[in-house]
Amino acid sequence: QASPVAPSFQLDYEENCFRKDGVPFRYISGSIHYARVPRPAWRDRLLKMYLSGLSTIQVYIPWNYHEPLPGVYDFSGNRDVEAFLDLTADLGLLVILRPGPYICAEWEMGGLPAWLLWKPDIVLRSSDPAYLAAVDSWLRVLLPKIKPRLYQHGGNIISVQVENEYGSYYACDYGYLRHLVGSFRALLGTEVLLFTTDSAGAEELRCGTLQGLYATVDFGPGSNVTEAFSAQRRVEPKGPLVNSEYYTGWLDYWGEAHASTSSAQVAQGLEAMLQLGASINMYMFHGGTNFAYWSGADFKNQYKPVTTSYDYDAPLSEAGDPTEKLFAIRTVISKFQPLPVGPMPPATPKYAYGRVALQKYADLLDVLDVLCPFGPIQSQFPLTFEAIKQAHGFVLYRTQLPRDVLDPATLGAPPHSVCDRGYVMLQKEYQGTLQRDRQTALRVTGRAGDTLDVLLENMGRISFGANISDFKGLLGNLSLDSSPLSKWLIYPLAIDTAMQQGWPHDAQPKSISQGRTGPAFYTGTFETPGIAWDTFVQFPGWGKGQVWINGFNLGRYWPGQGPQQTLFVPGSVLHVGRPNNITVLELEGAPTTPLLLFLDQPLFNGTL
């Protein structure tokens, strides 16, 4: 009796294809990020991907999502990557894994933990020993969870990407890539297929590829397929053609138009590649949401923060609904291979819960005892978020005017030193906002000893495009008519910790100073009519801020900038049979009648 052949997934350089268990194989894959989808929705999204005709999914692992502090790991709840991978196997999907350590993904700091910047001179994504030590200790935790799930070991992970578009980074450090390959091989074994992904430019492919790693390319529907694959052929003369990121849409930046790519164009490009026998991963197949503080930013001559929605104009919408684009893609796939039997699940039910009135709970400055229970840090000059070990969210900087300012004086910051927005209050009165790469000065008047407060907001660390580490907070000193201010009290605010402990809904309301603008908390409740369906919350007349429902941080809203007008609210965060608690931190000024609208569809730039 012949012994069963061990499962294998390999490159065939003779026939220019993959071989799965010895048989020629081509994958049609789609990207989904478990960190952008609430765990109760994972199965629904994966099933829809399977029924679209995909054999494979591609997924990133964001290091900073799992190691919030050095040596402190979180793989629970929404972060249970092993449960996610087990679900893909249950549904019969193969997996292309992209564990980084850097992932880009328009995710906060490209997945790298902010605590790496506690060493200010660290050189990220290089052979810097401090960086490599952190990477190695992370990989020693992560990769042993992955190894038993590799295809060779009876699992469903067919290939593993090393780093991510490294050729687009200035360092071009082959020693770093070689170090990663050594770590991956030591922890995953010699059989696993390791690969790289880069854009199809000659320079990117020069710095991003390495002998022993299979080089793949990424490009979107606007590209010339023949030219892009001939770029791959220059570095990989033999082996399968692979587009690891075929862009089905694009991301949105605050203050720019909602990105969209036509279904016809996406389908056409897909068909052209499939006719060449290529393996393809569609980025994204389902984009999801940058909840809490997880959205990243690009740097293209200026700082460009990414919206809370990561809808991406993808085949499955932000809420996980099949779109026209999905059916166009499915039709193309059906020309090359049989589709799975079974109907596509419909759109998830949505509910318009309607208007919810909110009340002002307190000005932020009046609840510092709750938000910063250990009190402020004293410093002659401002310290960055990283210097005080605050990763995300908000830090308050407080000092006093050193002299009477009877005629308006300029309160100013050096260029690029307000990261990313500073809300200025004098004697608790809101004066205006300082902004990175934009407004860096305000005119103020006051008396000696008046309290000056600047609330600094981190809008997300740069994930792509800059060759510098993205420190947050006040990176330089503020000055008054060019004379530097000193003697600062710095309050790291633990807003989410307070929320998770039930604040402010189970606290006594503060005496409210009506009519004051500037950062303040608003609260309200609503009940669901016996169902907890997905919904979208709109902010009529609000400025900019952050919103929580039942302690879950839904992310940032900024309707005046757009294009995003509504935030996605997953039904899984709502309660049935008891009130849902809403808390809004409005940073600039709430409408005179503070209310939220819950809709059954999203709005971008005021349009569907």
In angstroms, rounded to a whole number, what is the distance separating the alpha carbons of residues 67 and 74? Answer: 6
Contact present, 305 and 106 (Cβ < 8 Å): no
Residue 172 in tokens? 């071009």
Active site residue 245: yes
Beta-carbon count within 10 A of 404 CB: 12
Residue matched to tokens 């001179």: 121
Which amino acid, residue 308? T
Return the C-alpha torsion angle 13, 100, 292, 519, nearest 10.
Answer: -130
Contact present, 242 and 232 (Cβ < 8 Å): yes
Beta-bridged to residue 567, according to DSSP, are 537
In angstroms, rounded to a whole number, what is the distance separating the alpha carbons of residues 63 and 113? Answer: 7
In angstroms, rounded to a whole number, what is the distance separating the alpha carbons of residues 333 and 325? Answer: 12
Which residue, among 425, 426, 420, has the nearest Cα to 440 in the 3D structure?
420
Residue 109 in tokens? 């700091």
Q: How deeply is 426 buried, as exposed, middle or buried, from its count of CB atoms within 10 A (0-12, 13-18, 19+)?
A: buried
The alpha carbon dihedral of 415, 417, 420, 425 has a sign of negative
The residue count of the chain comes to 608
Which amino acid, residue 349? P
Catalytic residue among 106, 165, 386, 588: 165
Catalytic residue among 245, 318, 586, 588: 245
Long-range contacts from 169-173, C-beta under 8 angstroms, 24+ separation: 169/125, 169/207, 169/467, 170/467, 171/123, 171/125, 171/126, 172/206, 172/207, 173/125, 173/126, 173/127
What does DSSP say about strands 479-480 and 483-484: parallel, antiparallel, or unpaired? antiparallel
Active site residue 586: no
The alpha carbon dihedral of 147, 148, 149, 153 has a sign of positive
Which residue, among 119, 452, 46, has the nearest Cα to 288 in the 3D structure?
46
In angstroms, rounded to a whole number, what is the distance separating the alpha carbons of residues 409 and 24? Answer: 73
Beta-bridged to residue 322, according to DSSP, are 316
Which residue, among 461, 98, 527, 123, has the nearest Cα to 297 in the 3D structure?
461
Beta-bridged to residue 587, according to DSSP, are none
The alpha carbon dihedral of 558, 559, 565, 567 has a sign of positive
Q: How deeply is 575 buried, as exposed, middle or buried, from its count of CB atoms within 10 A (0-12, 13-18, 19+)?
A: middle
Which amino acid, residue 597? L
Which residue, among 196, 102, 178, has the nearest Cα to 205 in the 3D structure?
196
Residue 490 sits at the vertex; the CA angle it makes with 391 and 502, to the nearest 5 degrees, is 60
Q: Which residues are catalytic?
A: 165, 245
